[in-house]
Amino acid sequence: MTIITHARPNIAFIKYWGNRNEELRLPVADSLSMTLSNPSVTIEAEASDTMIIRSIEMNGEEKNLSDAQKKRFVDQFVLAKEYLRTLGAEDTLPSAVSLIVRSEIPSGIGLASSAAVFAATAKAYAEMIKQSIALTKAQESVIARLGSGSAARSIFSGFASFVARGDGIGDAWAEQIADENHWQLHDIVIAPEVEHKKVGSTEGHALASTSPHWSERVRQMPRRQKECIDAILQKDFEKLQHVTEEDCMDMHNVMMTSTPSLQYLNKETYRIVKEIENLRSAEHLEVLYTMDAGPTVHVICTEDALEKIREYAARQQGCTVFEAKIGAGADLVE
């Protein structure tokens, strides 16, 4: 039987950067994000004799996956089995699976697909074993995390907090702070350049602790996480803006000062950030910026600011612009 699931990326207000265990993707600190309404990634999964991972592009053509890319799916599957054993549900998953990944995420918009991909595979695995064990969303989130830390958050709709708890395989998962109807926020994604990331986040996490700013970041994270949760629950945009921009710049400071140094932002990123700051003060707009491991600026705004931000984004020559709003969690495709 083929199971079809889909999930979407998320954008973090409080960033996940640094693991206490790289293999298990156990984060050092908590993080918080908003799941986006689009683009989505669909997974078709079925039991198989050997692991088969295929990726089909939007135009229907098959994309060549590297061995490292395939290994990431295999690793998540093997770790998922190990985790299920801790729940007393060993051998509920088949010995291997065949996966077909279809991503709607356009290349060059600087939106990583891994959060959506591994949330969708986790949902598919949960569906495969549901006659034997009904996993909770927290347990699905653990399995998503085993493929990509940030995928733990894409299991949920709306706003989700990814909580670091302990050192065991099941000791970190996300939980929902508020659903997608709580606050209509929009993400206008402005991607200044089409270039492949030099160092991916999986390798990047391992460098975080080499930065001299790392221990101070870790010290500040619980305060920021709390402020961010309060801001969301109170729909206090100004508070959300302050803490999000502070945390984003702090993460990039850690990245830039790690050994080797990771420089994800470029001149265009800084120009857009400055212009958003100017626009915000000149027009009193509820708008904030944040960047993940790349130069792409996520310009997040309220419904009231949307038109003005759309106009600004449309004027960005040479940039790819993409728009999403707050969205749904990982789910079965009916």
Enclosing H/E stretch for 264: none
Contact between 313 and 188 under an 8 Å Cβ cutoff? The reply is: yes
Contact between 103 and 41 under an 8 Å Cβ cutoff? The reply is: yes
Contact between 294 and 199 under an 8 Å Cβ cutoff? The reply is: no
Nearer to ligand PMV, 157 or 201 (CB): 201
Contact between 221 and 29 under an 8 Å Cβ cutoff? The reply is: yes
Nearer to ligand PMV, 201 or 302 (CB): 201
Q: How many CB atoms lie within 10 A of CB 117?
A: 28
Q: How many CB atoms lie within 10 A of CB 244?
A: 25
DSSP SS3 for 94: coil
Q: Tell me how far, at minimum, the Cβ of 90 lies from ligand PMV, in Å.
A: 27
Residues that bind ligand PMV (CB under 6 A): 12, 15-17, 31, 112, 114-115, 148-150, 201-202, 205, 292-293
Q: Tell me how far, at minimum, the Cβ of 112 lies from ligand PMV, in Å.
A: 6
Q: Tell me how far, at minimum, the Cβ of 155 lies from ligand PMV, in Å.
A: 13
Contact between 21 and 206 under an 8 Å Cβ cutoff? The reply is: no
Q: Tell me how far, at minimum, the Cβ of 187 lies from ligand PMV, in Å.
A: 13
Q: Tell me how far, at minimum, the Cβ of 151 lies from ligand PMV, in Å.
A: 6
- Name the residue among 89, 78, 208, 94 with its Cα closest to residue 146: 78
Nearer to ligand PMV, 149 or 329 (CB): 149
Q: Tell me how far, at minimum, the Cβ of 105 lies from ligand PMV, in Å.
A: 14
Nearer to ligand PMV, 250 or 306 (CB): 250
Nearer to ligand PMV, 5 or 31 (CB): 31
Nearer to ligand PMV, 31 or 92 (CB): 31
Q: Retrieve residue 180's tokens.
A: 């997608």
